[in-house]
């Protein structure tokens, strides 16, 4: 008998637009190739120009760097200005929040995330099929990576 995930009956979440996930704390918004294409097109930019202007490469251990949006000096997302300026074209990571592997790992992880996000546990009921669709979509569109250049790497 297969054990059902804690979210089998669905979970409630509606964004309250508090912007806590977009502002105030340093973090990473990793971009997949599809995210990069969508955002660059939305801003009428070539891929390379978008990366140079709006992105940074983040080393996360080992020799691999991950493409992430930059942050402002105050740790706000580079696209936050009285709200998300690219909301219709926001990255998959933003679109699928809070249905991420780390948050969906357990009921305890969901509860911890709920202490930071006022939308968790409230509002629209999202069924197990939708939650698993979000998780699979994230798996199918991994962040862009590269091997860093330079003699010290």
What would the DSSP string read from start to end of 32-80?
Answer: -HHHHHHHHHHTT--HHHHHHHHEEEEE-STT-EEEEE-B-TTS-BTTB
pLDDT score for 63: 86
Whether residue 44 is contained in a domain is answered as yes
Predicted model pTM: 0.87
Summarised one tens digit per residue, pLDDT across range 107-149 is 999 999 999 999 999 999 999 999 999 999 999 999 999 997 7
Summarised one tens digit per residue, pLDDT across range 4-51 is 999 999 999 999 988 888 887 778 999 999 999 999 999 999 999 999
pLDDT score for 100: 95
- DSSP 3-state of 131: helix
Mean pLDDT of 72-76: 92
Mean pLDDT of 49-61: 94
> The tokens of 8 are what?
């089998």
Q: Locate tokens 């979000």: which residue?
A: 134
Whether residue 37 is contained in a domain is answered as yes
- Do residues 14 and 123 touch, judged by C-beta distance below 8 A? yes
Number of domains in the chain: 1
- DSSP 3-state of 23: coil
Whether residue 117 is contained in a domain is answered as yes
Which residues pair with residue 146 across a beta bridge? 65
Helix and strand numbers (H, E) in the chain are 6, 5
Whether residue 15 is contained in a domain is answered as yes
**Per-residue pLDDT band at 1 (split at 50, 70, 90):** low
For residue 64, the enclosing domain spans: 11-146
Whether residue 87 is contained in a domain is answered as yes
Under DSSP, the state recorded for 5 is P
pLDDT score for 68: 96
Mean pLDDT of 62-73: 93
Whether residue 6 is contained in a domain is answered as no
Whether residue 106 is contained in a domain is answered as yes
Helix pair 33-42, 47-54: axis angle to 10 deg: 90
Whether residue 121 is contained in a domain is answered as yes
């Amino acid at each position: 008998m297969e054990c059902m995930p804690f979210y089998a009956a669905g979970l409630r979440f509606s964004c309250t637009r508090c912007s806590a996930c977009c502002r105030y704390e340093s973090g990473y918004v990793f971009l997949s190739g599809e995210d990069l294409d969508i955002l660059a097109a939305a801003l009428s930019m070539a891929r390379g120009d978008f990366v140079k202007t709006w992105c940074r490469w983040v080393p996360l251990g080992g020799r691999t760097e991950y493409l992430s949006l930059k942050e402002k000096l105050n740790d706000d997302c580079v696209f936050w200005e009285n709200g998300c300026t690219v909301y219709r074209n926001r990255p998959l990571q933003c679109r699928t929040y809070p249905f991420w592997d780390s948050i969906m790992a357990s009921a305890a992880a969901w509860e911890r995330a709920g202490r930071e996000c006022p939308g968790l546990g409230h509002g629209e009921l999202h069924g197990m099929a939708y939650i698993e669709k979000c998780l699979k979509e994230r798996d199918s569109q991994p962040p862009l990576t590269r091997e860093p250049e330079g003699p010290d790497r």
